[in-house]
A and B are shown apart, each in its own frame.
Chain A
Amino acid sequence: MILALIVVTVVAVCLLYLLLTNLVALAFVLLGAKESAFRKLEDETTDYATLASSRFTVPVSVIVAAHNEERVIEATIRSLLAFDYPQFEVIVVNDGSTDWTLERVRDAFGLEPYHVFQRRVFASETVRSVYRSPEVPNLVVVDKANGGKADSLNAGLNVARYRYVCGVDADTVFDRRALLKAMRVAVQDPGRVVGITSQITPARTPERIMAAPPGKRPVERGPLFVFQHLDFLRAFVNNRLAWSRHGFMLCTPGGFQIWRRDVLEEVGGYSTAFTCEDIELTFRVHEHFLRAGRDYRINSLPDSVGVTEAPDTVAKLVAQRERWQRVIDETVVHHRRMWFNPGYKSVGVVGAPFYLLSEVVSPVFELLALGALVASVALGIFQPLAFLVVLAAMAFANAALTAAAILLDDLQSRLYRKRDLVRLLLYAPFDMVLYRPIIFWARMKGSWRFLRGDMGWYKFERNIRATT
């Protein structure tokens, strides 16, 4: 009887937690919809032609950190060099690759080694050589000893010449107008805008997806890719637009992150003390500005700027997501002084607590729910009908939030084919039962590794491409 009471209490607590997180998610959708609508109107009235040709448009240094990326690096660099932007440079940092990454880039762009005297503003591993291309004057390749992604970005920052720097992943292929779309916000208010990010979508072969024009772009086939696509949409459209609007945009993803260089110098650049660099830097910049009481903005935009390579097997997906969980745990715990602290404004009152409750603590509730399910079966109090109804309710609540994300994204970009939108909508209710268990497992693994102090990257193998 007591055991049954405990099980019922646990179930009630878990359901309350679920209700709370879903209500918060719903509130974020409504706030995000408002932000999305304004950004669309802003986008429509922006004079991109002038921005793309004006000598007053702020130049940008794009930094790509690459470690064993021989399969994707050339396509990524070509997409970056094709940016429709008046003045920019591309700095590729080869982070001690053990495959043919450097050779591949060297051959593709006719690189020659040169010695460059650079500033050592940010600490990094030894730079072995700097390569430049006579054919592509705005491409610089830095070859350095392995030190991780943050270390590579710091090495790139030492070479960067411009006021804004854009860190990108080596496995992401970008839209020609990505920089232009993102930098429109910085051009409008360079004094306040210190950080910008925008939406990225996952696919098996990014270059194939990006080759299709807007309106005819496909969504990658295969349930694993569709579910990842939906996951990204929920994160970027349902959450980050609302966070951005209310000043607590706490995750500027490594795939596309623009920062004002002087701000990076103030906070000491990317930290190598964490598993990943992106979310931690965002937390640190917020903390730095809020502590000093300075006015600033970190914006997340709804425009889809690129396609990143997504894991094509469950094992690879778990490896990626457990790392994400670990870095969230590391960052949120490290910046614990911001939790529920009104001194840090919306970041302290909403942003950091949201991360704590929805990301760090959620594996605990998920584990409790699973334990309660097993215990109720063992105690003979399991009610299959009630269980199925609650499961279906959870699945459709999640599907409704996902459908909202699909709608907002389509209103914004009109990027995907109609039949793909229908496919995304039909997959949405199955996300809870087919995709979430994988993410649950990855989160458990990530949390466990965080508790053990494990900081390995566990990079997944790149997808096989038909053309290579």
Chain B
Amino acid sequence: VQDVVFYAGATVLAVSFVAWALLGIVVVVGRTRFDRRRGESSRPLGSREARRLVARALRPVGTERGTWRRIAAFSRLARAHHPAAPRVVRQALSDRDERVSAAAVRALGEIGDEWAVELLVDALREGRVPRSRVASQLEHVYPLPAPQLVPLLRDRDPAVRFWAATLLAPYPELGESQLVLMTHDRDANVRAAAAETLGTRGGQASCTAILALLDDPAWFVRVHAARSAGQLLEAAATSSLVRLLCDARWWVRTAAKDALRGIGPDAVPALLAMLTDPDAFARNGAAEVLQDIGFVDSLLGDRSRSALLERIFEAGGEQMRRAAEERARRARRLEEVQAA
């Protein structure tokens, strides 16, 4: 038995030692070569390497390794703006493998020529590649894709209408009338996107449409409408926004609070009116926003308004009082230090 153990051990030892030594050599040699070639990928493509990459990018593959090598090849060609890039990327975009087509979308974003933008808009319409990834590229490409996006607002597919509305946010001069119409869309996601994008517009029709969406049956539409109302209508939206403080959904209440915080001191009268609301969420929310916009702190040093302060603390609870008192203490201490 001991002989068997000895010889088996010796064999394992020999094999392991050789494996350790070889792997160690590979680590050191590989790293040395890498350090020497560092930064080479940013150099212009040589013609021989380009030919090799084009062949690899066009060759059909059946293995996972081959797929990734193909992706790496056309990505490199696109990055180098090689003349063959349009051909190989176009072919990759229509590939059945989602990894290949998604990588082609990325490559199109990097190329960013007119034909690339057109292909990206087509990909958004067709939906073979996840639309969120196409949208990420369309956000950054130049020339701007806005004129091609406007017709998509009338597309039959609600997902296309959603993405077109979302992507039009940075272009306030485009598609407003269609976006207003979309606030009546049957699809709730489209209504939400329209609400979000209209928040960047300024017309009367946009304001009316957003206010109407604050009562939408879908909670996430109300979330988007609340954000847009705060952004677009400011003080004019406060009476509608404070109503959302007692919404059944937490996310809607949070969005309303965020919007009211953004409005600031102009929201104070409407918030004070909510302090005696029968709904506990409304009272809490109003007190929290008054605290966050600094109204509570401004009352703390004013004895004549302590009754108002008490009403806020009644709605906000004992913890809100303690937090306010601590803030006041810290502010006093800071003033003393500064004075000293």
> Which residues of B lie under 8 Å from residue A429 when comparing CB positions?
20
Whether A422 and B28, one on each chain, are in contact in the complex, defined by CB atoms closer than 8 angstroms, is: yes
> Which residues of A lie under 8 Å from residue B291 when comparing CB positions?
114-115
Q: Which residue of B lies closest to A392 (CB)?
A: B13
Contact of A51 among B20, B64, B110, B136 (CB under 8 A): B136
Least Cβ–Cβ distance between A142 and chain B, in angstroms: 12
Complex: A383 Cα to B68 Cα, angstroms: 53
Contact of B68 among A38, A51, A428 (CB under 8 A): A38
Residues from 103 to 133 in A contacting B, C-beta threshold 8 Å = 112-117, 119, 129-130
Whether B5 and A15, one on each chain, are in contact in the complex, defined by CB atoms closer than 8 angstroms, is: yes
Residues from 295 to 340 in B contacting A, C-beta threshold 8 Å = 316-317, 319-320, 322-323, 326-327, 330
Least Cβ–Cβ distance between B300 and chain A, in angstroms: 13
Max count, chain A CB within 10 A of own CB: residue among B13, B34, B291, B330: B13
Whether B6 and A386, one on each chain, are in contact in the complex, defined by CB atoms closer than 8 angstroms, is: yes
Complex: A15 Cα to B135 Cα, angstroms: 58
Complex: A397 Cα to B284 Cα, angstroms: 64
Complex: A11 Cα to B27 Cα, angstroms: 35
> Which residues of A lie under 8 Å from residue B1 when comparing CB positions?
8, 12
Whether B136 and A50, one on each chain, are in contact in the complex, defined by CB atoms closer than 8 angstroms, is: yes
Q: Which of B69-77, B83-91, B198-206, B226-234 lies on the face that meets chain A?
A: B69-77
Q: Are A396 and B13 CB-contacts (below 8 A) given A50-B136, A112-B330?
A: yes
Whether A396 and B30, one on each chain, are in contact in the complex, defined by CB atoms closer than 8 angstroms, is: no
Whether B135 and A56, one on each chain, are in contact in the complex, defined by CB atoms closer than 8 angstroms, is: yes
Let me know if B288 is at the binding interface, CB within 8 A. yes
Q: Are A56 and B16 CB-contacts (below 8 A) given A41-B71, A403-B27, A414-B34?
A: no
Whether B13 and A421, one on each chain, are in contact in the complex, defined by CB atoms closer than 8 angstroms, is: no
A interface secondary structure, majority: helix
Let me know if A294 is at the binding interface, CB within 8 A. no
Contact of B10 among A46, A215, A389, A404 (CB under 8 A): A389
Complex: A129 Cα to B322 Cα, angstroms: 9
Residues from 86 to 117 in A contacting B, C-beta threshold 8 Å = 112-117
Let me know if A467 is at the binding interface, CB within 8 A. no
> Which residues of B lie under 8 Å from residue A41 when comparing CB positions?
68-69, 71-72
Contact of A407 among B2, B12, B27, B103 (CB under 8 A): B27
Least Cβ–Cβ distance between A431 and chain B, in angstroms: 11
Complex: A42 Cα to B67 Cα, angstroms: 10
Complex: A53 Cα to B106 Cα, angstroms: 14
Let me know if B239 is at the binding interface, CB within 8 A. no
Let me know if A44 is at the binding interface, CB within 8 A. yes
Contacts between the two chains (Cβ within 8 Å), count: 147
Whether B30 and A407, one on each chain, are in contact in the complex, defined by CB atoms closer than 8 angstroms, is: yes
Least Cβ–Cβ distance between B135 and chain A, in angstroms: 6
Whether B24 and A425, one on each chain, are in contact in the complex, defined by CB atoms closer than 8 angstroms, is: yes
Least Cβ–Cβ distance between B82 and chain A, in angstroms: 16
Complex: A44 Cα to B136 Cα, angstroms: 18
Q: Are A396 and B20 CB-contacts (below 8 A) given A41-B71, A113-B327?
A: yes
Complex: A178 Cα to B32 Cα, angstroms: 26
Whether A389 and B13, one on each chain, are in contact in the complex, defined by CB atoms closer than 8 angstroms, is: yes
Let me know if B137 is at the binding interface, CB within 8 A. yes
Complex: A112 Cα to B53 Cα, angstroms: 57
Q: Are A418 and B32 CB-contacts (below 8 A) given A37-B65, A41-B68, A50-B109?
A: yes
Q: Are A54 and B136 CB-contacts (below 8 A) given A115-B288, A411-B30, A418-B31?
A: yes
B-contact bits for A429-452, CB 8 A (1 contact / 0 none): 100000000000000000000000
B-contact bits for A395-425, CB 8 A (1 contact / 0 none): 0110110011011001100100010011001
Complex: A47 Cα to B105 Cα, angstroms: 10
Whether B106 and A428, one on each chain, are in contact in the complex, defined by CB atoms closer than 8 angstroms, is: no
> Which residues of B lie under 8 Å from residue A115 when comparing CB positions?
288, 291, 316-317, 319-320, 322-323
Closest 9 CB pairs of A and B: A396-B16, A403-B23, A41-B68, A115-B320, A400-B19, A393-B13, A393-B12, A113-B323, A389-B9
A-B contact pairs, 11 of them (CB 8 A): A41-B71, A44-B75, A47-B110, A50-B109, A54-B136, A56-B139, A115-B319, A188-B133, A399-B20, A407-B23, A428-B20
